[in-house]
Amino acid sequence: MKKLLKLQNELKVPKSKRNDFAGFDYRSAEDILKAIKPLCEKHNLYLNLTDEFLDSGTYPIIKSIATIYDLDDVTIGEEVTYNSKVKSVGYAAVDVNRKKVTVDQCFGAASSFARKYALNGLLLIDDSASDPDNPKMQRSAAPQSRKTTTVEKKAGAKKKVVAGTAEYNKLLKWIESEKGSIEKALEMYDIDSATENLIRKSIKSK
């Protein structure tokens, strides 16, 4: 779809939000939708977002589907058929054990997380350190627990967190706070499956 290619090249979504705990900037699904609406109108495109609930047996999963339709390429009969459309999918686990939030809010957070990554895939939005919409992922004034290595700067590597370390304990406290969540932690850090399971068990037991 040529229109989608043009939209992808024109779309700019700066990382306007700040995570003070991890010291990085980020964008939300709402930021992406705000930036794309005028471009959809310009190119006569229609963007639709839907969510599906999946039962994984361990944690509820939200599957979000972002679909963009070309309104100039439709067949009108008993129903309107969109001949040109492109879709992308994103997933997020629902952390129902978060402290001081309702179950509805947990599902809402997972939906927003999944929709963001569905939109990222559809619109070719880059979340790495070399993201052209945010050339400086780390602000110089932000406090850092350690210096970022040259290899990490080049590759945009995430900091690894291992169970039993001071960084792990600090991260666990943040996850249990109102601002934190396991989904955000997995996005921010390199956490292996064993450490993730320990975090989830620790949260569930409290």
Give the amino acid at 92: A
17 vs 133 pLDDT, higher one: 17
* Residue 22 φ/ψ region, left for φ over 0, alpha for ψ in the -120 to 50 degree band, beta for the rest: alpha
What is the separation, in whole angstroms, between the first and last Cα of the chain? 50
Q: What is the pLDDT of residues 171-190, one digit of tens each?
A: 888 888 777 888 888 888 88
Could you tell me where the beta strands, DSSP code E, fall in 77-190?
80-82, 85-93, 159-160, 189-190
pTM for this model (two decimals):
0.61
91 vs 151 pLDDT, higher one: 91
Helix (H, G, I), strand (E, B) or coil at 88: strand
Q: What is the pLDDT of residues 14-37, one digit of tens each?
A: 887 877 766 777 888 899 999 999
The structural domains of the chain, with segments of one domain joined by +, span 2-135+148-205
Which residue from 117, 67, 121 is spatially nearest to 93, judged by alpha carbons? 117
Q: Helix 103-123 and helix 29-43: axis angle, to 10°?
A: 50
Q: What is the pLDDT of residues 46-98, one digit of tens each?
A: 999 999 999 877 788 999 999 999 999 999 888 889 899 999 999 998 887 77
* Residue 192 confidence class, pLDDT cut points 50, 70, 90: confident
